Amino acid sequence: MEYISELFLIFRDIIAYAIPGAILAWYFYYYKRRELLGGFWGGFVIGTIGAVLLDFALSTFFIDVVNWLMKPRIGNDQYVTRINLIAAFIGAALFVYILNHINHDRERRR
C-alpha cells in the first residue's frame, strides 16, 4: 500500500512539473505565435525540463523567501504538492524563452 501512495506522489509531482511547461509552450506557440523547435510539443518538453531543473536549483532559496507560495498547505501539515511552484514556472518560462530565441524569434506562418 505504501508503494502505491509513493507512486501517486511521484505522478502528482510529474503533473505539477508538466503544467507550467504546457502553459508556457501554449503562450509562446499559440498566443504569441512564435515558431518553436518541435512546435508546441517541443516547447512543452523543454518547458517541463526547465521547470524541473530550476525547481532543483532554486528550491531552498525560495523556501526561505516565500514558504507558503512554494509549498502550499492545507491545514498545518498537509502539502498540496511537494514541488516549488514558483521555481517550476520560472524554469518553464526560461527554457521556452531560450527555445524561442534558438529559432531567432520567428513568428509562425498562419
Range of the domain at 79: 2-102
Q: Is position 76 within any domain?
A: yes
pTM: 0.62
Note the pLDDT of residue 72.
62
- Burial group, residue 19, by CB count within 10 angstroms (0-12, 13-18, 19+): middle
Res 80: pLDDT? 66
Kindly state whether residue 107 falls inside one of the protein's structural domains: no
In a domain, 7, yes or no: yes
**Per-residue b/e over 27-40, b at no fewer than 16 CB within 10 Å?**
bbbeeeebbbeeee
Residue 82 confidence (pLDDT): 72
Residue-wise pLDDT tens for the chain (110 aa)?
788 888 998 899 889 999 999 999 999 888 988 888 888 999 999 989 988 888 888 777 766 666 666 566 666 666 666 777 778 888 888 888 888 888 776 777 76
Domain count, the chain: 1
Q: Does residue 110 belong to any structural domain of this protein?
A: no
Q: Is residue 91 part of a domain?
A: yes
Q: For residue 6, tell me if it sits in a domain.
A: yes
Q: Is residue 109 part of a domain?
A: no
